[in-house]
């Protein structure tokens, strides 16, 4: 007996909202990628708890794939950020509104 599943959903919802808030409000490319990481993390909490709630291992398998996709996204995203910083010398997303 741990806790009701709805409480896990609420905790993960708060985490997801914090991540979305971070990705929308912060004016820094690294903080935007961190916000996306927080959102992925909240989603994986719900997957693991639902796997326990429904007695089905598919949820845990999906968390494995979320981990791999997060690692991929971070490696490519940080490479793009470093490249953009070398070109313009700033982290502000306002400086990256040109498509070239």
Partner 1 sequence: MTLYGIFFYLISAVVIAATAVAVTRENLLHAVVYLIISFFGTAMLFYLFGAPLLAALEVIIYAGAIMVLFLFVVMMISSRPSGEALFPPRQFLPAVFFCLLYLLVAAAMAVQTPGLNAPLQTLTASPRLFATYVFKYHWFSIEVISMLLLVAAIGALNLGTAGRPGVKKDVPEQPEKPPTGSNPGAQVSGRTED
From the list 32, 36, 43, 76, which residue makes contact with partner 1 (rule: CB under 8 A)?
76
From the list 20, 36, 43, 96, which residue makes contact with partner 1 (rule: CB under 8 A)?
20
Using an 8 Å Cβ cutoff, are 84 and 92 in contact? no
Using an 8 Å Cβ cutoff, are 60 and 45 in contact? no
**Structure token pair of residue 41:** 């993390």
- The Cα–Cα gap between 6 and 86 comes to 46
Which residues contact partner 1 (rule: CB under 8 A)?
Answer: 1-11, 13-15, 17-22, 24-28, 30-31, 33-35, 37-38, 41, 44-45, 48-49, 51-53, 55, 57-58, 60-61, 63-65, 67-72, 74-76, 78-83, 85-87, 90-92
């Amino acid at each position: 007996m741990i806790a009701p599943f709805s409480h896990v959903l609420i905790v993960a919802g708060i985490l997801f909202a914090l991540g979305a808030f971070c990705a929308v409000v912060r004016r820094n490319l690294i903080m935007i990628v961190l916000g996306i990481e927080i959102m992925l993390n909240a989603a994986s909490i719900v997957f693991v708890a639902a796997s326990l709630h429904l007695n089905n291992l598919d949820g845990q398998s999906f968390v494995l794939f979320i981990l791999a996709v997060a690692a991929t996204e971070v490696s490519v995203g940080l490479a793009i950020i470093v490249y953009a910083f070398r070109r313009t010398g700033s982290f502000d997303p306002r400086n990256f509104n040109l498509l070239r």
